[in-house]
Amino acid sequence: MSDIPRKPVPFPTKEQILDFINTSPAQVGKREIARAFGLTGPAKIELKKVLKELELDGKIGRGRQRRFATPGSMPDVAVLEVIGIDEDGELLAKPVTWEGDDRPPRIYVSQSSGRTAYGMRDRVLCRMRKISAKEYEAQVIRQISEAPSRILGLYQQSGEEGRLIPTDRRAKSEFIIPKGEALDAQSGDLVLCEPLPGRLFGLKPARVVELLGDSNAPKAVSLVCIHAHDIPTDFTNEALEQAKAAKAVPLGKRVDLRDIPLVTIDGADARDFDDAVFAEPDTDPKNEGGWHIIVAIADVAHYVRTNDALDRCAFERGNSVYFPDRVVPMLPEALSNGWCSLVPHEDRGCLAAHMWIDADGHLLRHKFIRGLMRSHARLTYEQAQAARDGVLDDVTTSLVESVINPLYGAYESFLKYRSERNVLELDVPERKMAFDDLGKVASIDKRQRLDSHKLIEEFMITANVAAAEALEAKRQPCMYRIHDAPSLEKMESLRQFLGSLDIKLAKGQTPNPKIFNQILGKVADTDQSHMINTIVLRSQAQAEYNPENIGHFGLALHRYAHFTSPIRRYSDLLVHRALIKGYGLGEGGLETDAKEFGEIGDHLSKTERRAAAAERDAMDRYTTLFMADRVGASFGARINGVTRFGLFITLNETGADGLVPIRSLPSDYYDHDEQLHMLRGKRNGLTFRLGEQVEAKLMEADVVTGGMVFNLVLKPEDVARAAKAGPGGAKPKKSHRKGFKKASKSRRRQR
């Protein structure tokens, strides 16, 4: 028997290897994979080749010690930050560092009996166990640090003690403020507190360390968001003195642009004007129908020099932060609203891009100069559009033929190039708030999108492209604005979702904006349009700042850099300094070592995301205040998110967001299908899907945390119709049945 040769073990397919890696509870190495499939000798060499191919295709990622996992997976051991408790009382955490493009997975922290309870923002070292594609269970190894020293919240007097109600909606517990620790706070005040030692059980004690004012004050909302997201607000005395000492820019060796009718076009509520534009037909007979355009940008580099006090404050901020009722500027107001703002009829220093385009909007050539300009008018978007449409006022009557019409002429050429490139055209409306005289929200509407908005956008895009090209030609470091193509994993997820709607997307197709635009065009003006726009948006990678150029996927451009807003973005200031050095335009050129650009890009990408999160938070909180007196009313809405714990909805009228807890849905067990973005009742057959129109009743509007809770208003006939379809309702397509079966099995393991 011993002489009979063993039958060779069949080599596994790529799909089998990938499935083994994806379903493993932790990252696995090549040795474990080989052992699982019984591979020996030459088969191990073949396995190494297959793993390399899967890695190059983006289907697996490499972790520490040459171990493999699904891209975006957690390592076997990770540092987590506690973020709160879910509706079922389970402790939730997030990774302290996360490199994935998508949101981090949902992490449940297992708390052993006898251990100290962990509080909000405590950091713990944990051993990770994968329980589904986007869910992990974490077993605490040890606590690394306690929560940060300060908590922002609303103070309420309760007998001789006080209570702190945290403004962070993820915090599920209040704090006790002992007698003598309230610092004269009154009920309703916003306060900053520090935790005090003591009390392993029950509410933890804290003391008030700073009074921030009445929580009902008009500007309390943005104040909460500033503190909650650690937005720097105070400039150093040295920086303020430097800004105060700034003076007008002399003509000197600058190019005199004051006779050119440059104009600014901004929002009606804008206070800083950092870009001005001009256009005229190109007189070159070889460029018939072409245009000469100028984009002039405030010369911030003249006032803010590398590593001076203003520069250090600007770098720390990274960018200005815009709230509905205020701005936290990157630079002191003496500069941002003063010497660096292109106010009308006053001399201002500028860095200007002269650009020549053909009749189809292609950028033919460009040059950059340092100049002295004088804005001939401050126009609003509505004012410029009205003039173009024939409705003139005292300002635009003298400008319509010489200034405004040529700007629109160049814009029409830009539109041709935009269409030729197939720029990704997503329809994602923004909200705009109006306030009354008391500072309260009077209305929330969709922000208008006029041709004048698009005109300025195209002029700025072209100037940004020219800046990137110029720095490459001058061999200067460039802080590119990059936007990667969607990952193969996201494309596959999108393909499966679209397939469930009978919209075909070829498997393995290389992503490009044209593919997405074709899909969006097919569903335009249909009930599916909003849902498809949302899903396509979520499939995209995040834009970021990086000295390594990979192009800009969304704009379909090979090179792109931010040049047009140095008042409010530090990245643009770096580009200005590099252009000044490259073109030899005087003082204020780049002194930063190019080797530091990678680290600087990471910092600026983070400050940008921080600002965006704070701005969204403020919009949500103001919206909750606006909706607070409408509890009990019903509204038309769309489902904009589907999770295992409920539905997120957006109201059609105001754009307000809120949660529909899963416990409020008709009694049943609901399967969560991640690929189809859907909850499905096992017995009643009810389905709730991303993008679906629903009616929702407002149940709670918590003005402290900014959160709103809704219940769906379901018609009895809809429930009866779903139940009649039988257990689980209508069956999913065959290609998705395996996913449902696998999800159900995973949940049985969790229980």
Is there a contact between 691 and 531 (Cβ–Cβ < 8 Å)? yes
Q: What domain range is 741 assigned to?
A: 631-750
> Do residue 373 and residue 242 come from a single domain?
yes
CA-based nearest residue to 635, from 724, 696, 712, 578: 696
Res 123: pLDDT: 80
Q: Point out the domain boundary residue: 110, 145, 180.
A: 145
In a domain, 615, yes or no: no
In a domain, 111, yes or no: yes
Could you give the angle at the alpha carbon of 505 between the alpha carbons of 500 and 508, nearest 5°?
A: 120
> Do residue 729 and residue 580 come from a single domain?
no
> Do residue 374 and residue 476 come from a single domain?
yes
In 550-625, beta strands by DSSP E? none
In a domain, 652, yes or no: yes
pTM to 2 decimal places: 0.76
Bridge partners of 255, per DSSP, are: 371
In a domain, 7, yes or no: no
Is there a contact between 272 and 337 (Cβ–Cβ < 8 Å)? yes
What DSSP state is assigned to residue 424?
-
Average pLDDT taken over every residue of the chain: 87
In a domain, 21, yes or no: yes
Helix axes 488-500, 529-538, angle to 10 degrees: 160
Is there a contact between 118 and 73 (Cβ–Cβ < 8 Å)? no
d(CA 406, CA 281): 7
In a domain, 688, yes or no: yes
Q: Point out the domain boundary residue: 85, 120, 145.
A: 145
> Do residue 206 and residue 300 come from a single domain?
no
CATH number at residue 24: 1.10.10.10
> Do residue 255 and residue 140 come from a single domain?
no
CATH number at residue 676: 2.40.50.140
Res 74: pLDDT: 80
CA-based nearest residue to 275, from 199, 340, 333: 340
Report pLDDT digits (tens) over 587-609: 999 999 999 999 999 999 999 99
> Do residue 531 and residue 517 come from a single domain?
yes
Res 145: pLDDT: 64
The dihedral formed by the CA atoms of 454, 467, 340 and 602, expressed in degrees to the nearest 10: 90
> Do residue 46 and residue 20 come from a single domain?
yes
- Residue with token string 């609003």: 380
> Do residue 342 and residue 258 come from a single domain?
yes
> Do residue 527 and residue 574 come from a single domain?
no
d(CA 662, CA 125): 31
Report pLDDT digits (tens) over 196-221: 876 556 788 899 988 888 887 878 89
> Do residue 377 and residue 451 come from a single domain?
yes
Is there a contact between 518 and 77 (Cβ–Cβ < 8 Å)? no
Q: Point out the domain boundary residue: 145, 176, 201.
A: 145
> Do residue 339 and residue 467 come from a single domain?
yes
DSSP 714-727: --HHHHHHHHHT-T
Residues in the chain predicted with pLDDT less than 50, given as ranges, are: 1-2, 113-114, 728-751
In a domain, 332, yes or no: yes
In a domain, 117, yes or no: yes
Tally of domains in the chain: 6
Res 92: pLDDT: 87
Q: What tokens were used for 472? A: 């490459």
> Do residue 659 and residue 519 come from a single domain?
no
- Residue with token string 């604005």: 481
